Amino acid sequence: MKFTSLFALFASAQAQEWSNVYPNAADFLFGVATDATNANVMHSTGGVNGVGGVVVYTLDGGQTFNGTKLPSALGLSMGIASDGDDIFTVGFPSSAYSHDRGATFSETPPSPTTNPLLSQAAASDSGAFYVTGMLLGGRNGVSRSTDGGETFESFVIDKDSISTIARYGSFVGDTWYVTGGTWPADEDVNKDKSERMLTKRFTAEGHYKPQMKRGDGDDDGADSTFVAEIAKSTDGGKTWSNVFEDVGNFYFNGIDCLDSMTCVAVGESDADSPDPGSRVWSTTDGGQTWVENFKTSDPQESLFTAKFVSKDEIWAVGGNVSNRQFLGRVWSSTDWAEKGEDSSWADVGGIDNAWLTDIGMAGEDGDAFAVALTIQSTASVFKYTAA
Ligand SMILES: *[C@@H]1O[C@H](CO)[C@@H](O)[C@H](O)[C@H]1NC(C)=O
Ligand SMILES: *[C@@H]1O[C@H](CO)[C@@H](O)[C@H](O)[C@H]1NC(C)=O
């Protein structure tokens, strides 16, 4: 794919709720940042083969898109967050910021003690950017910037709180939640060790393998089983505690918190797990108790992230990803808090040939932008227009 195609213009004329507003926007897109106060703005980050990290964005509700190549230190970019004119994107092994809504990016200057080193997750809260992942020295942590992504301060997460890899975070004032987890290594995918796995089925280079072989039960390494963890801090990252741990069944991806007590996290596992499938877990008491609101038993079901659409409604997004076809999932529930394990979920996605990697709510009327991988190894931008 030529980078010039990022500058192509597309009209979003379709009337259905989900429309593909930018087909084949890049080779892969992984993160979405939207603006709660302006439904027209969406930034997404990912990569184009032969070009490197890119940000694809619209300022007019998806009618036209521009693309910006990221500084070459960002081989690839996985996570993105926005705060008005400030955009921050994090990749491997660097990050970049923009103060002009994505038109130009500068690399965040490397710093041995504070910068995020490896991350696939950026978030924003009250004027700060947060990055979850690995800090220099290999420790898990969160980095926070209060100057639009130019400099960071880091907060280590101790091994007792997350024993595997810190993955995604959600931040509400001084209350921070971080998901962690790991999965058994797959020989086929990990043959080329230079590829970093973002999930069990997806590498940082944009390669994926929807369905893995069935496991033979061999335990042959430290990371040879599934682990799902959640850590919480109530003092702005100074101290942490573990509030969720499951060994053997799945790992967590994204987490979203409505307030300091109420969070939803999504997890998944493939056929190597004794209990495969996608799942949604939530808490309404600050992580003291967690409820599994939703579970599929299909190893082809994947969930990347969840979002509060409103105080009552959760969306969990991903896809049913067989080797032959993808079906983009947006599982929705409004009775999850009231019904717990018996809550009802409807698929308001059902988007053909899409494996949704991230979603962001745009504005206050229920519109959303999502990005998806296709079976042809390209990535597209979708828009949801609330009825
Ligand atoms: C895209 O870039 C062009 C040229 O820099 C600019 O004129 C236009 O306003 C931009 N459009 C958006 C949606 O940012
Ligand atoms: C996922 O897709 C496969 C292949 O189309 C299908 O057989 C399976 O039933 C789907 N799973 C669910 C939970 O819908």
Place of tokens 């996985």: 78
Whole-number pLDDT of residue 3: 42
Could you say which DSSP state residue 238 is in? Answer: S
- Measure 321 CA to ligand 2 centroid, in angstroms: 8
Ligand 2 pocket, residue 300 CB under 6 Å: yes
Reading the block at residue 125, the tokens are 């809260």
Task: For a ligand 1 pocket test, name from 66, 82, 100, 101 the mutation site with the most ligand atoms within 8 angstroms of its C-beta.
Answer: 66
Q: Choose from 53-57, 193-197, 219-223 the range with maximum mean pLDDT.
A: 53-57
Mean pLDDT of 130-143: 87
Reading the block at residue 5, the tokens are 């195609």
Ligand 1 pocket, residue 58 CB under 6 Å: yes
How far from the centroid of its chain's Cα atoms is residue 364's Cα?
21
Would you place residue 387 in the very low, low, confident or very high pLDDT band (cuts 50, 70, 90)?
confident
Ligand nearest to the CA of 325: 2
Mean pLDDT of 313-341: 95
pLDDT of 42-51, one tens digit each?
A: 999 999 988 8
Q: Which atom of ligand 1 is nearest to the CA of 102?
A: 14
- Measure 66 CA to ligand 1 centroid, in angstroms: 6
Report the amino acid identity of residue 330. V
**Is residue 55's pLDDT more than 90?**
yes
Whole-number pLDDT of residue 259: 98
Ligand 2 pocket, residue 322 CB under 6 Å: yes
Reading the block at residue 364, the tokens are 């206050």
pLDDT of 256-301, one tens digit each?
A: 999 999 999 999 999 999 999 999 999 999 999 999 999 999 999 9
pLDDT above 90: percentage of residues in the chain: 70
Question: Residue 302: beta bridge partners?
Answer: 319
How far from the centroid of its chain's Cα atoms is residue 277's Cα?
18
Ligand 1 pocket, residue 41 CB under 6 Å: no
- 3-state secondary structure at position 167: strand
- Contact between 131 and 152 (Cβ < 8 Å): yes
Whole-number pLDDT of residue 73: 74
116 Ramachandran zone, left/alpha/beta (phi>0; psi -120 to 50): beta
- Measure 64 CA to ligand 1 centroid, in angstroms: 8
Could you say which DSSP state residue 5 is in? Answer: G
Ligand 1 pocket, residue 351 CB under 6 Å: no
Mean pLDDT of 113-132: 83
Mean pLDDT of 90-98: 86
Place of tokens 């996570």: 79
On average, the pLDDT of the chain sits at: 88
Whole-number pLDDT of residue 49: 87
Whole-number pLDDT of residue 256: 98
